[in-house]
Amino acid sequence: MTKVANVASVRGFIFASLSKDVPTIEEFLGDSIRTINNVADRAPEGEIEIVGKPFRYEHDSNWKMFIENLNDTMHPMVTHASVGKAARSFLADQPEGTKYPGEAEIIFPFGSSYKFFDDMKVTALNYGHSYVGGESSIHTAYSDIPDYIEAMNAAYGTERTNEVFSQNRHNTIIYPSFTIKDAVQCMRVVRPISVDKTIIETWHFKLKGAPIEMLKRTIMYSRLINSNASMVGPDDWDCYKRMHEGLRSTATEWVDMRRGLGEDTVPVQMGGERSFGTSDLSFRNQYKAWANYLKQGGK
Protein backbone atom coordinates (compact mmCIF):
# COMPACT_ATOMS: atom_id res chain seq x y z
CA MET A 1 0.00 0.00 0.00
CA THR A 2 1.34 3.43 -1.01
CA LYS A 3 2.05 5.68 1.95
CA VAL A 4 1.38 9.42 1.75
CA ALA A 5 4.28 11.42 3.17
CA ASN A 6 2.78 14.92 3.22
CA VAL A 7 -0.77 16.25 3.46
CA ALA A 8 -1.98 19.87 3.45
CA SER A 9 -5.37 21.56 3.23
CA VAL A 10 -6.53 24.81 1.63
CA ARG A 11 -10.17 25.77 2.24
CA GLY A 12 -11.14 22.10 2.36
CA PHE A 13 -9.10 21.04 -0.70
CA ILE A 14 -6.68 18.27 0.29
CA PHE A 15 -3.21 18.14 -1.27
CA ALA A 16 -1.07 15.03 -0.77
CA SER A 17 2.43 13.98 -1.81
CA LEU A 18 4.31 10.69 -1.72
CA SER A 19 7.54 12.60 -1.14
CA LYS A 20 8.86 13.87 2.19
CA ASP A 21 10.93 16.53 0.45
CA VAL A 22 8.32 19.04 -0.77
CA PRO A 23 7.74 22.79 -0.41
CA THR A 24 5.02 24.14 1.86
CA ILE A 25 1.58 24.25 0.26
CA GLU A 26 1.75 28.06 0.24
CA GLU A 27 5.05 28.02 -1.65
CA PHE A 28 3.86 25.33 -4.05
CA LEU A 29 0.61 27.07 -4.98
CA GLY A 30 1.95 30.63 -4.98
CA ASP A 31 -0.55 33.10 -6.41
CA SER A 32 -2.83 30.28 -7.56
CA ILE A 33 -3.93 29.90 -3.93
CA ARG A 34 -5.94 33.09 -4.42
CA THR A 35 -8.13 31.29 -6.95
CA ILE A 36 -8.96 28.54 -4.47
CA ASN A 37 -9.65 31.12 -1.77
CA ASN A 38 -11.82 33.15 -4.13
CA VAL A 39 -13.98 30.13 -4.97
CA ALA A 40 -14.81 29.71 -1.27
CA ASP A 41 -15.04 33.47 -0.64
CA ARG A 42 -17.82 33.68 -3.25
CA ALA A 43 -20.03 31.66 -0.89
CA PRO A 44 -21.99 33.85 1.56
CA GLU A 45 -21.17 31.27 4.26
CA GLY A 46 -17.51 31.05 3.20
CA GLU A 47 -17.69 27.37 2.28
CA ILE A 48 -18.45 25.24 -0.79
CA GLU A 49 -19.61 21.67 -1.20
CA ILE A 50 -19.37 19.12 -4.00
CA VAL A 51 -22.69 18.47 -5.72
CA GLY A 52 -23.45 15.23 -7.55
CA LYS A 53 -21.08 13.02 -9.49
CA PRO A 54 -18.54 14.42 -11.97
CA PHE A 55 -18.85 14.61 -15.73
CA ARG A 56 -16.37 12.09 -17.17
CA TYR A 57 -15.00 12.65 -20.65
CA GLU A 58 -12.46 10.30 -22.27
CA HIS A 59 -9.94 11.93 -24.61
CA ASP A 60 -7.94 10.04 -27.25
CA SER A 61 -4.73 11.90 -26.57
CA ASN A 62 -1.95 12.41 -24.08
CA TRP A 63 -2.91 14.36 -20.95
CA LYS A 64 -0.58 17.22 -21.82
CA MET A 65 -2.81 18.20 -24.76
CA PHE A 66 -5.66 19.08 -22.42
CA ILE A 67 -3.51 20.94 -19.90
CA GLU A 68 -1.77 23.01 -22.58
CA ASN A 69 -5.06 23.97 -24.21
CA LEU A 70 -6.59 25.48 -21.09
CA ASN A 71 -4.62 28.72 -21.17
CA ASP A 72 -4.08 28.84 -24.91
CA THR A 73 -6.07 31.81 -26.16
CA MET A 74 -5.00 31.57 -29.80
CA HIS A 75 -7.45 28.74 -30.51
CA PRO A 76 -10.95 29.87 -29.33
CA MET A 77 -11.80 32.18 -32.23
CA VAL A 78 -10.72 29.47 -34.70
CA THR A 79 -11.58 26.16 -33.04
CA HIS A 80 -14.86 27.48 -31.64
CA ALA A 81 -15.68 29.88 -34.50
CA SER A 82 -18.92 28.11 -35.47
CA VAL A 83 -20.17 28.19 -31.87
CA GLY A 84 -19.49 31.91 -31.49
CA LYS A 85 -21.09 32.61 -34.86
CA ALA A 86 -24.20 30.62 -33.92
CA ALA A 87 -24.54 32.55 -30.63
CA ARG A 88 -24.23 35.92 -32.39
CA SER A 89 -26.71 34.86 -35.08
CA PHE A 90 -29.19 33.70 -32.45
CA LEU A 91 -28.98 37.01 -30.59
CA ALA A 92 -29.37 39.02 -33.79
CA ASP A 93 -32.63 37.22 -34.56
CA GLN A 94 -34.22 37.97 -31.19
CA PRO A 95 -36.87 40.72 -30.90
CA GLU A 96 -35.69 43.97 -29.34
CA GLY A 97 -35.87 43.87 -25.56
CA THR A 98 -35.56 40.08 -25.34
CA LYS A 99 -33.84 38.96 -22.13
CA TYR A 100 -30.26 37.86 -22.75
CA PRO A 101 -30.36 34.02 -22.44
CA GLY A 102 -27.89 32.39 -20.08
CA GLU A 103 -26.67 29.90 -22.70
CA ALA A 104 -25.74 32.63 -25.19
CA GLU A 105 -24.12 34.63 -22.40
CA ILE A 106 -21.78 31.70 -21.71
CA ILE A 107 -21.07 30.77 -25.33
CA PHE A 108 -20.65 34.26 -26.80
CA PRO A 109 -17.16 35.06 -25.37
CA PHE A 110 -15.65 32.01 -27.08
CA GLY A 111 -15.92 33.90 -30.36
CA SER A 112 -14.13 36.99 -29.03
CA SER A 113 -11.22 38.72 -30.74
CA TYR A 114 -7.50 38.21 -30.26
CA LYS A 115 -7.36 41.64 -28.63
CA PHE A 116 -9.99 40.56 -26.09
CA PHE A 117 -7.83 37.61 -25.04
CA ASP A 118 -4.58 39.58 -25.22
CA ASP A 119 -6.02 42.16 -22.81
CA MET A 120 -6.91 39.40 -20.32
CA LYS A 121 -3.18 38.60 -19.91
CA VAL A 122 -1.66 35.23 -19.02
CA THR A 123 0.27 34.66 -15.79
CA ALA A 124 2.77 31.83 -15.39
CA LEU A 125 3.71 30.80 -11.84
CA ASN A 126 6.31 28.54 -10.28
CA TYR A 127 5.87 24.75 -10.50
CA GLY A 128 4.07 25.00 -13.85
CA HIS A 129 0.89 26.68 -12.60
CA SER A 130 -0.77 29.47 -14.59
CA TYR A 131 -3.96 31.42 -15.10
CA VAL A 132 -5.58 33.65 -17.72
CA GLY A 133 -7.42 36.79 -16.71
CA GLY A 134 -7.48 38.45 -13.33
CA GLU A 135 -9.42 41.69 -13.44
CA SER A 136 -11.38 40.41 -16.45
CA SER A 137 -12.09 37.10 -18.16
CA ILE A 138 -14.70 35.43 -20.36
CA HIS A 139 -16.95 35.37 -17.26
CA THR A 140 -16.79 39.09 -16.42
CA ALA A 141 -19.95 40.15 -18.27
CA TYR A 142 -22.25 37.48 -16.80
CA SER A 143 -25.56 38.88 -15.57
CA ASP A 144 -25.94 39.55 -11.85
CA ILE A 145 -28.22 37.33 -9.80
CA PRO A 146 -29.82 39.89 -7.41
CA ASP A 147 -30.56 37.51 -4.53
CA TYR A 148 -26.95 36.36 -4.62
CA ILE A 149 -25.54 39.88 -4.52
CA GLU A 150 -27.80 40.69 -1.56
CA ALA A 151 -26.67 37.56 0.29
CA MET A 152 -23.01 38.43 -0.27
CA ASN A 153 -23.48 42.05 0.84
CA ALA A 154 -25.27 40.86 3.97
CA ALA A 155 -22.49 38.42 4.78
CA TYR A 156 -19.41 40.51 3.96
CA GLY A 157 -20.48 44.10 3.38
CA THR A 158 -20.39 45.91 0.04
CA GLU A 159 -16.66 46.71 0.05
CA ARG A 160 -15.53 43.15 0.74
CA THR A 161 -18.08 41.74 -1.72
CA ASN A 162 -16.80 44.02 -4.48
CA GLU A 163 -13.25 42.94 -3.64
CA VAL A 164 -14.19 39.26 -3.98
CA PHE A 165 -15.96 39.87 -7.30
CA SER A 166 -13.05 41.95 -8.66
CA GLN A 167 -11.05 38.76 -9.22
CA ASN A 168 -12.04 37.05 -12.46
CA ARG A 169 -9.76 34.29 -13.68
CA HIS A 170 -10.61 32.08 -16.65
CA ASN A 171 -8.65 28.87 -15.99
CA THR A 172 -6.24 28.45 -13.11
CA ILE A 173 -4.06 25.41 -13.74
CA ILE A 174 -2.60 23.66 -10.71
CA TYR A 175 -0.01 21.79 -12.72
CA PRO A 176 -0.21 18.97 -13.61
CA SER A 177 -3.28 17.67 -11.80
CA PHE A 178 -6.29 19.96 -12.14
CA THR A 179 -7.78 23.27 -13.18
CA ILE A 180 -10.23 25.38 -11.20
CA LYS A 181 -12.44 28.40 -11.89
CA ASP A 182 -13.38 31.06 -9.37
CA ALA A 183 -16.17 32.88 -11.25
CA VAL A 184 -17.75 29.56 -12.30
CA GLN A 185 -17.42 27.13 -9.44
CA CYS A 186 -16.12 23.97 -11.09
CA MET A 187 -12.91 21.97 -11.18
CA ARG A 188 -11.54 19.61 -13.83
CA VAL A 189 -9.27 16.78 -12.72
CA VAL A 190 -6.80 15.19 -15.15
CA ARG A 191 -6.51 11.40 -14.99
CA PRO A 192 -3.93 9.94 -17.43
CA ILE A 193 -4.84 6.37 -18.47
CA SER A 194 -2.18 5.65 -21.08
CA VAL A 195 0.03 7.56 -23.49
CA ASP A 196 -2.98 8.18 -25.75
CA LYS A 197 -5.90 8.08 -23.30
CA THR A 198 -6.92 10.67 -20.70
CA ILE A 199 -10.07 10.98 -18.62
CA ILE A 200 -11.16 14.45 -17.54
CA GLU A 201 -13.48 14.66 -14.55
CA THR A 202 -15.44 17.87 -14.01
CA TRP A 203 -16.63 18.45 -10.44
CA HIS A 204 -19.21 21.08 -9.51
CA PHE A 205 -19.42 23.15 -6.34
CA LYS A 206 -22.37 24.68 -4.55
CA LEU A 207 -21.80 27.98 -2.78
CA LYS A 208 -23.21 27.61 0.72
CA GLY A 209 -25.71 30.34 1.44
CA ALA A 210 -26.12 31.29 -2.24
CA PRO A 211 -29.39 30.97 -4.18
CA ILE A 212 -29.81 27.83 -6.28
CA GLU A 213 -29.51 29.93 -9.46
CA MET A 214 -25.73 30.07 -8.91
CA LEU A 215 -25.44 26.28 -8.96
CA LYS A 216 -27.72 26.12 -11.99
CA ARG A 217 -25.38 28.48 -13.85
CA THR A 218 -22.38 26.35 -12.90
CA ILE A 219 -24.08 23.23 -14.25
CA MET A 220 -25.21 25.10 -17.37
CA TYR A 221 -21.66 26.28 -18.02
CA SER A 222 -20.31 22.77 -17.63
CA ARG A 223 -23.01 21.28 -19.84
CA LEU A 224 -22.23 23.79 -22.58
CA ILE A 225 -18.43 23.73 -22.28
CA ASN A 226 -17.09 20.71 -20.35
CA SER A 227 -19.34 17.78 -21.16
CA ASN A 228 -18.78 15.30 -23.99
CA ALA A 229 -22.13 16.47 -25.40
CA SER A 230 -21.23 20.15 -25.13
CA MET A 231 -20.93 22.81 -27.81
CA VAL A 232 -17.24 23.50 -27.08
CA GLY A 233 -15.58 20.38 -25.62
CA PRO A 234 -15.83 18.20 -28.77
CA ASP A 235 -14.07 20.92 -30.80
CA ASP A 236 -11.13 20.70 -28.40
CA TRP A 237 -11.27 16.89 -28.33
CA ASP A 238 -10.83 16.79 -32.12
CA CYS A 239 -7.83 19.13 -31.89
CA TYR A 240 -6.19 17.02 -29.14
CA LYS A 241 -6.59 13.84 -31.18
CA ARG A 242 -5.22 15.43 -34.35
CA MET A 243 -2.26 16.96 -32.50
CA HIS A 244 -1.48 13.65 -30.84
CA GLU A 245 -1.52 11.91 -34.22
CA GLY A 246 0.49 14.71 -35.82
CA LEU A 247 3.28 14.37 -33.28
CA ARG A 248 3.98 10.88 -34.63
CA SER A 249 5.24 12.53 -37.79
CA THR A 250 9.00 12.82 -38.31
CA ALA A 251 8.64 15.69 -40.77
CA THR A 252 9.76 18.22 -38.18
CA GLU A 253 11.76 17.82 -35.00
CA TRP A 254 10.34 20.71 -32.98
CA VAL A 255 7.00 22.13 -31.86
CA ASP A 256 7.20 25.93 -31.96
CA MET A 257 6.20 27.57 -28.66
CA ARG A 258 8.02 30.89 -29.11
CA ARG A 259 5.01 33.20 -29.36
CA GLY A 260 5.62 36.06 -26.95
CA LEU A 261 9.12 34.90 -26.04
CA GLY A 262 10.87 37.93 -24.51
CA GLU A 263 7.96 40.26 -25.31
CA ASP A 264 6.28 42.32 -22.57
CA THR A 265 6.92 39.70 -19.92
CA VAL A 266 6.93 41.20 -16.43
CA PRO A 267 7.55 39.66 -12.99
CA VAL A 268 4.59 39.17 -10.66
CA GLN A 269 4.29 38.91 -6.90
CA MET A 270 4.70 35.50 -5.27
CA GLY A 271 6.89 34.40 -8.19
CA GLY A 272 6.16 34.10 -11.89
CA GLU A 273 5.73 36.19 -15.02
CA ARG A 274 2.88 37.85 -16.92
CA SER A 275 2.51 38.44 -20.63
CA PHE A 276 -0.17 39.29 -23.21
CA GLY A 277 -2.97 36.75 -23.34
CA THR A 278 -2.07 34.93 -26.57
CA SER A 279 1.54 34.38 -25.55
CA ASP A 280 2.85 30.79 -25.34
CA LEU A 281 4.21 31.63 -21.89
CA SER A 282 2.04 29.07 -20.08
CA PHE A 283 3.23 26.26 -22.41
CA ARG A 284 6.88 27.05 -21.87
CA ASN A 285 6.26 27.28 -18.15
CA GLN A 286 4.69 23.82 -18.05
CA TYR A 287 7.57 22.18 -19.90
CA LYS A 288 10.06 23.93 -17.66
CA ALA A 289 8.29 22.45 -14.63
CA TRP A 290 8.07 19.01 -16.27
CA ALA A 291 11.80 19.04 -16.99
CA ASN A 292 12.52 20.00 -13.37
CA TYR A 293 10.33 17.17 -12.07
CA LEU A 294 12.19 14.69 -14.28
CA LYS A 295 15.53 15.93 -12.98
CA GLN A 296 14.32 15.59 -9.39
CA GLY A 297 12.94 12.09 -9.89
CA GLY A 298 9.30 13.17 -9.90
CA LYS A 299 9.27 15.05 -6.58
In a domain, 229, yes or no: yes
* Position 262 in a domain: no
- Asked if the structure places residue 25 within a domain, the reply is yes
Amino acid 270: pLDDT = 75
Q: What is the pLDDT of residue 93?
A: 85
Task: Check which CATH number belongs to the domain holding 43 and give it.
Answer: 3.90.380.10
Task: Residue 156: count other Cβ atoms within 10 Å of its Cβ.
Answer: 16
Number of domains within the chain: 1
Domain membership of residue 255 (yes or no) is: no
Instruction: For 95-140, write each residue's pLDDT tens digit.
Output: 887 777 888 888 888 888 899 999 999 999 999 999 999 888 989 8
Residues of the chain falling short of pLDDT 70: 1-2, 297-299
Answer whether residue 254 is part of any domain.
no
17-27 pLDDT, tens digit per residue, is 988 889 999 99
pLDDT at 266: 82
pLDDT at site 164:
96
258 located within any domain:
no
Domain that holds residue 224: 6-249+267-295
If DSSP codes are grouped into helix, strand and coil, which group holds residue 124?
A: strand
SS (H, E, C) 230-290: CCCHHHHHHHHHHHHHHCCCCCCCCCCCCCCCCCCCEECCCCCEEECCCCCHHHHHHHHHH
Terminal alpha carbon distance of the chain: 19
pLDDT value for 298 = 54
Residue 256 has a pLDDT of 93
In a domain, 256, yes or no: no
| Residue 257, domain member (yes or no) | no
pLDDT at position 101, please? 80
Q: What is the DSSP letter of 180?
A: E
